[in-house]
Amino acid sequence: ETGVTQTPRHLVMGMTNKKSLKCEQHLGHNAMYWYKQSAKKPLELMFVYNFKEQTENNSVPSRFSPECPNSSHLFLHLHTLQPEDSALYLCASSLRTTNEKLFFGSGTQLSVL
């Protein structure tokens, strides 16, 4: 599949669990992003990576830990989340971090019980 692929599509976890979200892009882009989409709220930028170096951390709690081993792969490690962290987590990529056209994945719908 071309484009931006996210797994899993759905995830239910308890507050003490540890889980990871995965994102992969096949577009040859150099920048990757994690966004949080909650009901009735704007898309919130969480992290930005440029050439696998983190360039932006938008005051995200440490229970969210990103990892970018290369320009094509991005992970979001989750640990001791809260129910209010339940949301759709979207990965995106762009050619550069000057943020021209963003290509989004389909997202992971996360429910924290």
Partner 1 sequence: GENVEQHPSTLSVQEGDSAVIKCTYSDSASNYFPWYKQELGKRPQLIIDIRSNVGEKKDQRIAVTLNKTAKHFSLHITETQPEDSAVYFCAARGNNAGNMLTFGGGTRLMVKP
**Per-position x/- string for 39-58, each x denoting binding to partner 1 as judged by CB under 8 A, each - no binding:** -xxxx-x--x------xx--
CB nearer to partner 1: give 56 or 67. 56
Q: What is the C-alpha separation between 52 and 36, in angstroms, rounded? A: 20
**How do beta strands 87-94 and 31-37 pair?**
antiparallel
Coil/strand/helix, residue 85: helix
Rule CB under 8 A: say whether 59 interacts with partner 1: no
Beta bridge partners of 94: 31
Minimum distance from residue 19 beta carbon to partner 1 (Å)? 21
CB nearer to partner 1: give 39 or 62. 39
Q: Which of 90, 93, 108, 112 binds partner 1 (CB under 8 A)?
A: 90
Q: Which of 32, 49, 93, 107 binds partner 1 (CB under 8 A)?
A: 107
Minimum distance from residue 93 beta carbon to partner 1 (Å)? 12
Residue 7: how many other CB atoms lie within 10 Å:
13
Per-state percent for the chain, helix, strand, coil, to nearest 5: 5, 55, 40
Q: What is the C-alpha separation between 84 and 1, in angstroms, rounded? A: 32
* Residues near partner 1, by CB under 8 A: 4, 40-43, 45, 48, 55-56, 90, 97-102, 104-107
